[in-house]
Chain A
Amino acid sequence: MSKDMMPGFELYQPDSVDGAVDLLGRYGGEAWALAGGNDSLDWFKDRVKRPQYVVDLSGLDELRGIREMDDGGIEIGAMTSLTEIESSALIQERYSVLADATRRVASPQIRNASTIGGNVCQDTRCWYYRYGVDCYRAGGNECYADTPEGQNREHCLWGADRCIAVSPSDMAPALVALDARMVVRDADGDREIAAEEFFIGPDIDIERMTVLEPGDVLTAIRIPADWAGARFYFEKVADRNTWDFPLVNIAAAMFVEDDTVQSIRIVAGAVQCIPRRLTAVEQAVTGQPKNEATAAVAGQTAVRGATPFNFNHFKIPLLQNLVTRAIRDA
């Protein structure tokens, strides 16, 4: 199937965000917002998603760039490339966890083309779903990964609800750890959504990964000043260092005083359909000395209640170790 054409579509290249919002609103479910194209074009080539109207956001300079906000936080335009984010001095200095996560995404060429908006809006990589079968997420009545022979090595440990696919993004956990805000525009104007609420699981809507609805454009991601300059940790484990999606990743931000954890946010990716905020770990370590013993407790706490499938038991010790290391080494 690989080297033939994508099916046809009408392509629009609006010159303003409002123009894009207008087009996407007008064509609703028939339309598709195109950012870097790294996820989008795969779906089109595989003929699994066939929008009639594609709205290319690449000409919208107002969606690009990293700005300082008045309150000391920063705002990253949704069309800012991953390469720009990983090499931004501002981000490296204040929010290095985001730069570290970005550097681990895909490959250099993909990071040159991909955008932060596309990265957080990208669809799950469950290969049954991406292959185009009529699974739950595709509107059908079955999950092919959740069967005795189902190839579910990459699938979830929590939040299974008919679908057992996971969040594929390396940047999303870092953004949730930083308590980022997503700025979304539709015909009625702008609204701000906490990153934690932006991602949704199959219990809320089995056919979407985010709250975005047809006609919505993610315009920017704001990172509040709260966690600037905190101690950070990011680690990703994947089969290969290049291209491969996380098997598990971990992002943490914490403030430590007198060797005691004052406050912390810690988030794991690829273990649930949404980036999983480990609130039990946060509670267990806050006020505790930052040492090996606390780190060990954190690791054990992180995996409580994990429900593996046939081929993904390995994710439990993997997550436990990553959390232990995050608390110990941040």
Chain B
Amino acid sequence: MSDKNLVTGPESFPEPRFDDGALTQVASTKASRRQFIKGVIASGAVASSAAVFLTACEPGEQGAAPAAAGGVERLLTLNVNGQMRRVDVMPNETLAMTLRYKLNLTGTKLGCDRGECGACTVLLDDVAHYSCSTLTHAARNKAITTVEGLESESGELHPVQQAMIDELGPQCGFCTPGQIMSAVALLTANPNPTRDEARLAMSGNLCRCGAYDNYLNSVMRAAEMA
């Protein structure tokens, strides 16, 4: 089952229960979903705004419990693309949020934010993960690689990136960073995949443009190049 089906509910579709979070400050729990969304937009608390993300999401403001002894330290050192980066990370922060809005690594995209598209794919210790579905604190001991970390020190593109260009892999390009990261993970684990193995390895990356065959051609070419 996926969220797509929600739009086909009956006329009398019931209202969800929202708890008293920061967002519900702009809409009462009895408000309709439409009113609720309008309210959120009017208040400026929309999705990808870094300013809102950085200011409106302190645990204290959302009625969470006060800090208790033994909870995680917020100041982390993350190993991102081979660099040690000091960063203040909230407990409820996903890796995609940290990468995009704290470390300015916006090559990692957010599509669905629900583990259903792959746009946010990054590598943790060389293995592909959805950064939208990973708590940053749970990744603190891993080597994190994003699409920005693939090119060589001299600025040469990674073979997968070069192959994507040579084979005209992407169409609109939104899913491309995620596709590249999945391909890099595959070729690290299995440098000579069959086309079917590659298809399976890339199956967790949705492409709304349907450029799947072009992506597969790119992966197979990268395997030959490397």
User: Within 8 Å of chain B (Cβ to Cβ): is A233?
Assistant: no
Q: Is there an interface contact between B127 and A5, defined as CB atoms closer than 8 Å?
A: no
Bound: A147/B114 CA distance, A: 28
User: Which residues of B line the A interface, CB within 8 A?
Assistant: 1-3, 5-6, 8-19, 21-24, 37, 45-48, 52-53, 56-65, 67-68, 70-72, 90-94, 97, 110, 112-116, 118, 121, 127-130, 133-135, 137-138, 141, 182, 200-201, 203-204
Q: Is there an interface contact between A45 and B16, defined as CB atoms closer than 8 Å?
A: no
Closest to A241 in B: B203
Of A2, A44, A58, A241, which contacts B92 at CB under 8 A? A44
Please give 6 more A-B residue pairs, beta carbons under 8 A apart, in addition to A10-B91, A13-B137, A47-B23: A10-B65, A30-B65, A58-B138, A106-B204, A112-B127, A132-B18
Interface size class of A (residues with CB under 8 A): 35 or more
**CB < 8 Å A-B pair total:** 178
Q: Is there an interface contact between A243 and B92, defined as CB atoms closer than 8 Å?
A: no
Bound: A100/B22 CA distance, A: 43
Q: Is there an interface contact between A50 and B116, defined as CB atoms closer than 8 Å?
A: no
Chain A binding surface SS class: loop
Bound: A307/B24 CA distance, A: 40
User: Within 8 Å of chain B (Cβ to Cβ): is A4?
Assistant: yes
Of B14, B21, B128, B201, which contacts A128 at CB under 8 A? B14
Q: Is there an interface contact between B16 and A12, defined as CB atoms closer than 8 Å?
A: no
Q: How far is the CB of A82 from chain B (nearest CB, A)?
A: 12
Partner-binding segment picked from A149-157, A253-261, A283-291: A149-157
Bound: A241/B196 CA distance, A: 14
Chain B residues with CB under 8 A of A88: none
Q: Is there an interface contact between A13 and B59, defined as CB atoms closer than 8 Å?
A: no
Closest to B53 in A: A5
Bound: A44/B200 CA distance, A: 30
Of B37, B57, B71, which contacts A5 at CB under 8 A? B57
Of B9, B97, B133, which contacts A151 at CB under 8 A? B9
Bound: A56/B137 CA distance, A: 9
Bound: A50/B127 CA distance, A: 30
Bound: A245/B19 CA distance, A: 28
Among all A-B residue pairs, the 7 with the closest Cβ atoms: A8-B59, A107-B204, A132-B16, A11-B91, A3-B47, A8-B64, A149-B10
Closest to A133 in B: B14
A-B residue pairs in contact (CB < 8 Å), sample of 21: A2-B112, A5-B92, A7-B63, A9-B65, A11-B71, A11-B91, A11-B135, A13-B138, A37-B133, A38-B115, A41-B135, A42-B115, A46-B16, A50-B19, A52-B65, A53-B68, A109-B128, A144-B13, A149-B10, A150-B10, A241-B203
What 0/1 readout, one digit per residue, does chain A (225-251) give for beta carbons within 8 Å of chain B?
000000000000000011111000000
Q: Is there an interface contact between B2 and A151, defined as CB atoms closer than 8 Å?
A: no
A2 in contact with B114 given A108-B201, A133-B16 (CB within 8 Å) = yes
Of B5, B21, B71, which contacts A12 at CB under 8 A? B71
A52 in contact with B16 given A12-B70, A108-B204, A147-B10 (CB within 8 Å) = no
Q: Is there an interface contact between A108 and B72, defined as CB atoms closer than 8 Å?
A: no
Chain A residues with CB under 8 A of B90: 5, 8
Chain A residues with CB under 8 A of B9: 151
Closest to A138 in B: B17
Q: How far is the CB of A133 from chain B (nearest CB, A)?
A: 4
Closest to A113 in B: B129
Of A6, A8, A52, A109, which contacts B204 at CB under 8 A? A109
User: Within 8 Å of chain B (Cβ to Cβ): is A328?
Assistant: no
Q: Is there an interface contact between A50 and B65, defined as CB atoms closer than 8 Å?
A: no
Q: Is there an interface contact between B53 and A12, defined as CB atoms closer than 8 Å?
A: no
Q: Is there an interface contact between B58 and A2, defined as CB atoms closer than 8 Å?
A: no
Q: Is there an interface contact between B19 and A47, defined as CB atoms closer than 8 Å?
A: yes
A9 in contact with B64 given A2-B47, A132-B18, A133-B15 (CB within 8 Å) = yes
Q: Is there an interface contact between B91 and A113, defined as CB atoms closer than 8 Å?
A: no
A10 in contact with B67 given A109-B121, A132-B17 (CB within 8 Å) = yes
User: Within 8 Å of chain B (Cβ to Cβ): is A34?
Assistant: yes
Bound: A187/B63 CA distance, A: 29
Q: Is there an interface contact between B113 and A134, defined as CB atoms closer than 8 Å?
A: no
Of A6, A11, A131, A133, which contacts B72 at CB under 8 A? A11
Q: Is there an interface contact between A42 and B19, defined as CB atoms closer than 8 Å?
A: no
Closest to B13 in A: A144
Bound: A259/B205 CA distance, A: 44
What 0/1 readout, one digit per residue, does chain A (1-34) give for beta carbons within 8 Å of chain B?
1111111111111000000000100000010001
User: Within 8 Å of chain B (Cβ to Cβ): is A127?
Assistant: yes
Q: Is there an interface contact between A109 and B70, defined as CB atoms closer than 8 Å?
A: no
Bound: A150/B141 CA distance, A: 46
User: Within 8 Å of chain B (Cβ to Cβ): is A302?
Assistant: no
Chain B residues with CB under 8 A of A293: none
User: Within 8 Å of chain B (Cβ to Cβ): is A221?
Assistant: no
Chain A residues with CB under 8 A of B14: 128, 133-134, 142, 144
Bound: A10/B118 CA distance, A: 28
Chain B residues with CB under 8 A of A8: 57-64, 90-92
Closest to B140 in A: A13
Chain A residues with CB under 8 A of B116: 243
